[in-house]
Structure 1
């Protein structure tokens, strides 16, 4: 798979487990003399400002260590430890050296661990062997599932050889539900990306990404939601979410915050049970959960009485918006099947 196809595959299939908006955090590094490690997890690909300098040298939008000259100063390579925002299975990496033209690493490797205590006691496992990298490029690497063994990881360590700069670091994978975060009988947001839900497929996401719909917190602006282009037919546009767990539905929130002139006129919600492959192939039967209902601008809409309550459980939902428009967030609270 070439780099362009791999980039599309990562973005359509997985989420960035390390992104700062999900709680990802750079914990420590060997050296960040020229540019701070925190830049690694910023959104976008990084920028370049021609005439911007600091008292340490050229300002760079990324993580950049000083020249180590290999073993001359005791450092064989530089490294940075990142706590994932969501523990999960890692499927690939994007080590982006955007604008690092003469100061990119020669090669990289990545280690991972599952650690709930002091990171100093972590046991690191190599998940990506040392690979050559290209300057001013997205360096994409797919992890072999057979080697990964479906292990859930909490932290990664990016190693760069022998030194240099990386603009952005993305850890693509699948979030996993953590039952220890909840008490018995507590309603769980089954559609939350932090609990392991995933936006699988949608009719259109011209203006903003489908996974914004299930991000934590309320949207910060109109770009922080799911918005489709204008249709010239009755619609609907639609989006399918794989729930974090199969469960029942007790409370639904549809939030159109910031969408004032482009919110959908109406919406409906359907649900189904099946494997991901069956859902993607259209081989499941969708059951109505909320019939076609009016929406309003810039508002949280709460639904309780219309939600199925006969202890039925579902694994996937389909949100339909008529005819098009933007929704900031969807919250779907219920109990896992095992708790009923």
Structure 2
């Protein structure tokens, strides 16, 4: 039983647990998985949520891996200080299906745009759940950010989102803005080999391959800002890293982004500005570059990475300073910073990620 299973309740009440999200952010939905709990699954659940500051969280005795026992009076008293029973209910009481193959996944959507840090999962009255998956978008509390401190503006932890790409045969580009260090090639973005590569590869005087075509991915930054440092990591890509890459940025409103998604980013009107010119990459290595935006002081909302001719990247980090002041031409409107980050309809694209 690789999950959470409570004893058969013989006293009044119901069972519950408190979960701190791995990333604070907005929630778009849940998958309550009852796999293998066929005669002992929790028949009903509800989910409550709260956005707590560090000073609001009391000292809670760690439960560890204790099995076969209920919470002690001291543990219950500590948790009671959270007043979790009064938290916002984002999933009302719903029935669950038993954990047979084909019926074990129970999906629930959430329409709230609030930022959450903690959940209370209630099961009624008792039983088992194998997995709880929480899907959404990270959202940093920008009001408390130090304006003088460099921050990764594209990180999914802070609210960066992949909104388009050309190829994701072996790995989705959303992986490259993921959490922490890459774990393997599977934890990165890898494209298929381009079929238009020539039979014999040649290079120019600078060592750049003379091949047609390229692959690309576009990201909405977590907050409009000026990118000053660029990190491109090809760790684990030893025989399949790109030959070169370049980065560009632009300013897009939400309607313009939606139009880009609908048109698969074939938008001649979008004026991409250089952040990093065509640059050779090495395999299995972390590359650090200064952005040309440091001299131009260009505030951007979106970034496009282009790799040539194909291959894999494990991480992309764009460090810079968030900005709410944009000295732009009228045609280059930027949304107020309080509207970032937001989720927009991405049709068939998967723009959300698990944040538990």
Matched, 1:196 2:159: yes
Range with bigger deviation, 283-292 or 211-220: 283-292
Matched, 1:118 2:57: yes
Residue of structure 2 in register with 1:9 after alignment: none
Structure 1 residue 307 displacement after superposition? 4.4
Structure 1 residue corresponding to 2:109, chosen from 137, 142, 153 = 142
> Which residue of structure 1 lines up, in the alignment, with residue 289 of structure 2?
303
User: 8 Å contact 1:249–1:309 — kept in the other structure?
Assistant: no
Bigger CA radius of gyration: 2
Mark the CA change 1:317 to 1:217 in structure 2 (over 3 Å): closer, same or farther: same
Instruction: Give the superposed CA RMSD.
Output: 2.0
* Alpha-carbon shift at residue 280 of structure 1 (Å): 4.2
Q: Which residue of the partner structure matches residue 237 of structure 2?
A: 259
- Which residue matches 1:279? 257
Farther off after superposition, 168-177 or 311-320: 168-177
Equivalence map 1:35-50=2 (5 Å): none
Structure 2 matches for 1:129-208, cutoff 5 A?
129-136=92-99, 137-143=104-110, 145=111, 148=112, 150-179=113-142, 182-208=145-171
Cα deviation, 1:286-333, whole Å, max 9, x if unaligned, reads: 223222221110111111164452211000111111122110100111
- RCO comparison, higher one (Cα < 8 Å, 6+): 2
- Pairwise CA distance, 1:230: 2.1
C-alpha distance in 2 between matches for 1:184 and 1:237? 34
Q: What is the CA–CA distance in structure 2 between the aligned matches of 1:313 and 1:140, rounded to whole Å?
A: 39
Distance in 2, Cα, partners of 1:292 & 1:196: 27
Task: Describe the shift of the 1:151–1:187 C-alpha distance in structure 2 as closer, same or farther (beyond 3 A).
Answer: same
- C-alpha distance in 2 between matches for 1:274 and 1:300: 29
- Change beyond 3 A, Cα 1:185–1:308: closer
Q: Which moved more, 1:240-249 or 1:228-237?
A: 228-237
Instruction: Report whether the alignment pairs 1:86 with 2:23.
Output: yes
TM-score, normalisation: structure 1: 0.75
Give the structure 2 partner of residue 44 of structure 1.
Answer: none
Q: How far 1:124 sits from its partner (Å)?
A: 0.9
The range that moved more, 324-333 or 176-185, is 176-185
Indicate if the aligned counterparts of 1:271 and 1:289 stay in contact, CA closer than 8 A. yes
Aligned pair partner of 1:73 in 4, 11, 14: 11
Change (3 A) 1:339 1:159: same
CA contact (8 A) 2:26 2:139 kept: yes
Aligned length: 273
| Gapped regions of structure 1 (runs ≥ 5) | 1-59
Q: Indicate if the aligned counterparts of 1:200 and 1:242 stay in contact, CA closer than 8 A.
A: yes
Identify the range of structure 1 (205-214 vs 129-138) with the bigger mean alpha-carbon deviation: 205-214
Measure, in 2, the Cα distance between the counterparts of 1:204 and 1:111: 38
